[in-house]
């Protein structure tokens, strides 16, 4: 017999309980609606087998045919709740309470508890925390709940505290739940996940790693592989260099065990291996022979895999020119480079696992170098040439002329365990906390509670995390490019916006000033927020195979985005000062600067210098609750005004 049928038999009493516990007299039981094709027994069976799409198709016409009938509404609520459509579940339950105000009147007597649980949990998972808290009082007698409902109630409170950043409470509640309740295996694993995630945010990384490893060893059905990877990523991203060195062996073991378990999911396995590559600074460097008198030659080749992009650097002391267009058949990129040799004892090199590259190989014939990059699958590629200009941060190339081959890997996002990303119909904003990791940005004059100078990277992250919550409460869908102290490359920040299908990208920074003017730092010369605007498109990469479209189409998108960028920046330059208190509302001119981070943007974007970190009054204001609310209101007003004028 199908295992799912046994599961159906187990949950059937719960399904019937949901229906009967709060149905008006005379409506309970299996029934049908003329002309709808709906039979309650059919819906119950489909839900019991997790065939939610079929159940929804059966139930929606029944709800539409007779909105006053609560039975199909309750089952449809369960379908939406189980599939993560929490907004729809909330709306259905509100319609039920509108017609029957007594639905939640006996929650502590376990009548109507399942609907209550789905309703409050749906609010929590939409980050409607204030609204959800208003319903906690309905359970005045926790001891009166059945054992099963008490567990659900405790899990609900844990999730509320987790999303409210009451992390110590989360830790205490979870430890109590793990010791006091006869939990299912899935409930236990979910609690260990929330505990580990909370400990990352409390910087208890040793303990977080222990709990993540517990998940690795006890997730027998491999349901939590992606979540465990996010935990390990978060531990890596938030560790100091010394702590990371200490934890690295156990983290690496955890990654490798996950990779072994994900053998049938190539994309996930590759992402895990890429995390190992990044953790261990895996790279391949090709050794070159001495030049002699052999003319123009390649003196440096490096394959550098990172989380989102694998880069192959080909460097020379003189210019590198390849025949255009390059050859690409979907799996192999071939560059024909006239007059250039590779003086090496080998003619090929393997790439690290998970890098998206199987190997590189080369040959020299008729005074032309054939340089081939063999991919593991069809991936997006761009080429960039450097002629004495510096590449992005951490590339570390010393040679004057270089060719940079970028292989863009499938989506790799950073740890955001509580991200409410289920509703893609909402206007989506990606917030970028500037700097991070070994790039602290500007330094302040003030010291924090630990006696350390405030750094721009830390204040940027604080502001973005709080701004994210603020915008989510205003019904925006918001993601961060980083949620810890690490440095996504400038291209990675851009790609995170692309992967999230973002409608807008806003980068948050803090201003500084020259040490020559230090005597003026604490004066009114250094008040006010400032917008940085790019005036030109900048350098174009060469597209080989890019899903965003052909080069001309991409250029049109960039030109449009440049105009949107200027418009949005102009609006924010008005709305932010208008919301700030004196003297922090000083208006500053928009500053032109062709920033690399915006060179590839195809959506509206802006870079906000929220204030001067070297001015102590400004920093105190931005760290205060009132100052943040003022700043956030200015940003929100600018976004809203831009959206009204863009349709």
Answer for the pair 572, 626: CB distance below 8 angstroms, yes or no.
no
Q: What is the pLDDT of residue 638?
A: 96
Q: How far apart are CA 313 and CA 303, in angstroms?
A: 7
- CA-based diameter of the chain, in Å? 98
For the domain made up of 284-408, the CATH class stated in words is: mainly beta
Sequence ranges of the domains in the chain = 3-277, 284-408, 428-645
- Within this chain, domains 284-408 and 428-645 share the same CATH topology: no
pTM: 0.55
Helix (H, G, I), strand (E, B) or coil at 374: strand
Query: Residue 179: how many CA atoms within 13 Å on its side-chain side?
Result: 6
Q: How far apart are CA 375 and CA 355, in angstroms?
A: 9
CA distances from 421 to 125, 374, 448 (A): 10, 35, 33
Q: What is the pLDDT of residue 141?
A: 83
Q: How far apart are CA 277 and CA 584, in angstroms?
A: 45
From the list 37, 16, 22, the residue with the least C-alpha distance to 112 is: 22
Tell me the residue ranges of DSSP E strands in 587-641: 591-592, 605-612
Q: How far apart are CA 434 and CA 463, in angstroms?
A: 11
From the list 57, 97, 58, 93, the residue with the least C-alpha distance to 74 is: 93
Average pLDDT by consecutive 10-residue portion of the chain (647 residues)?
A: 43 49 39 56 86 89 89 90 89 89 77 89 90 87 87 92 92 90 88 94 93 92 88 88 90 91 78 81 76 71 82 83 85 91 89 90 92 90 60 40 81 40 70 87 87 91 94 90 79 74 93 88 91 78 58 78 93 95 92 78 92 94 95 96 79
Token look-up 């690490």 returns 486
- CATH superfamily, with its number, for domain 3-277: Tetratricopeptide repeat domain (1.25.40.10)
Q: From the CB of residue 646, how many other CB atoms can be counted at a distance below 10 Å? A: 11
From the list 171, 150, 175, 151, the residue with the least C-alpha distance to 161 is: 171
Length of the chain, please? 647
* Angle at CA of residue 638, ends 634 and 640, nearest 5°: 115
According to CATH, the topology of domain 428-645 is Aminopeptidase (3.40.630)
Please tell me what DSSP assigns to residue 86.
Answer: H
Strands 428-433 and 477-480: parallel
The dihedral sign for the CA sequence 545, 547, 548, 553: positive
């Amino acid at each position: 017999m199908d295992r799912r049928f046994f599961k159906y038999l187990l949950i059937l009493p719960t399904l019937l309980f949901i229906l009967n516990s709060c149905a008006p007299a005379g409506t309970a039981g299996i029934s049908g609606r003329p002309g709808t094709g709906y039979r309650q027994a059919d819906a119950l069976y489909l839900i019991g087998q997790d065939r939610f799409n079929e159940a929804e198709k059966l139930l929606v016409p029944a709800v539409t045919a007779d909105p006053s009938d609560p039975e199909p509404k309750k089952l449809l609520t369960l379908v939406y709740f189980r599939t993560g459509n929490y907004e729809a579940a909330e709306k259905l339950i509100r319609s039920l309470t509108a017609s029957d105000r007594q639905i939640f009147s006996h929650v502590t007597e376990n009548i109507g508890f399942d609907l209550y649980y789905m309703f409050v949990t749906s609010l929590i998972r939409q980050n409607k925390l204030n609204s959800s808290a208003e319903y906690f009082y309905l359970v005045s007698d926790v001891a009166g709940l059945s054992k099963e409902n008490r567990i659900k109630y405790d899990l609900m409170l844990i999730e509320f505290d987790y999303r409210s950043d009451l992390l110590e409470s989360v830790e205490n509640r979870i430890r109590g739940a793990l010791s006091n309740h006869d939990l299912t295996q899935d409930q236990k694993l979910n609690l260990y996940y929330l505990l580990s995630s909370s400990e990352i945010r409390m910087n208890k990384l040793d303990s977080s790693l222990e709990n993540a490893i517990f998940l690795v060893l006890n997730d027998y059905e491999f349901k939590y592989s992606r979540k465990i990877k996010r935990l390990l990523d978060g531990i890596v991203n938030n560790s100091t260099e010394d702590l990371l060195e200490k934890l690295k062996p156990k983290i690496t073991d955890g990654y490798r065990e996950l990779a072994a378990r994900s053998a049938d999911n190539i994309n996930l396995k590759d992402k895990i291996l890429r995390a190992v590559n990044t953790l261990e600074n895996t790279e391949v460097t090709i050794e070159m022979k001495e030049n002699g008198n052999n003319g123009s030659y390649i003196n440096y080749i490096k394959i550098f895999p990172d989380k989102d992009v694998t880069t192959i650097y080909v460097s020379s002391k003189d210019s590198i020119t390849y025949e255009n267009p390059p050859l690409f058949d979907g799996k192999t990129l071939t560059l024909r480079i006239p007059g250039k040799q590779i003086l090496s004892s080998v003619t090929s090199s393997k790439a690290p696992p998970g890098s998206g590259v199987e190997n590189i190989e080369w040959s020299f014939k008729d005074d032309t170098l054939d340089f081939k990059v063999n991919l593991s699958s069809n991936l997006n590629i761009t080429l960039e040439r450097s002629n004495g200009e510096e590449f992005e941060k951490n590339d570390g190339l010393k040679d004057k002329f270089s060719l940079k081959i970028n292989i863009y890997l499938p989506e790799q996002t950073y740890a955001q365990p509580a991200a409410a990303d289920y509703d893609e119909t909402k206007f989506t904003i990606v917030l970028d906390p500037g700097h991070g990791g070994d790039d602290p940005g500007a330094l302040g004059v003030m010291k924090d509670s630990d006696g350390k100078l405030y750094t721009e990277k830390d204040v940027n992250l604080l502001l973005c995390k709080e701004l994210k919550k603020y915008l989510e409460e205003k019904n925006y869908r918001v993601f961060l490019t980083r949620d810890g102290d690490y440095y996504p490359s400038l291209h990675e920040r851009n790609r995170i916006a692309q992967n999230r299908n973002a409608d807008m990208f806003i980068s948050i920074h803090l201003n500084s000033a020259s040490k020559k003017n230090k005597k003026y730092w604490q004066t009114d010369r250094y008040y006010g927020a400032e917008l940085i605007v790019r005036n030109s498109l900048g350098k174009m990469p060469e597209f080989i195979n890019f899903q965003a479209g052909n080069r001309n189409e991409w250029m049109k998108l960039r030109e449009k985005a440049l105009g949107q960028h200027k418009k949005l920046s102009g609006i924010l330059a008005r709305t932010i000062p208008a919301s700030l208190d004196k003297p922090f509302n000083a208006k500053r001119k928009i500053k032109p600067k062709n920033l690399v981070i915006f060179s590839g943007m195809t959506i509206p974007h802006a870079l906000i210098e929220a204030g001067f970190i070297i001015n102590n009054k400004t920093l105190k204001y931005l760290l205060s609750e009132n100052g943040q609310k003022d700043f956030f209101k200015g940003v929100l007003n600018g976004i809203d005004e831009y959206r009204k004028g863009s349709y």
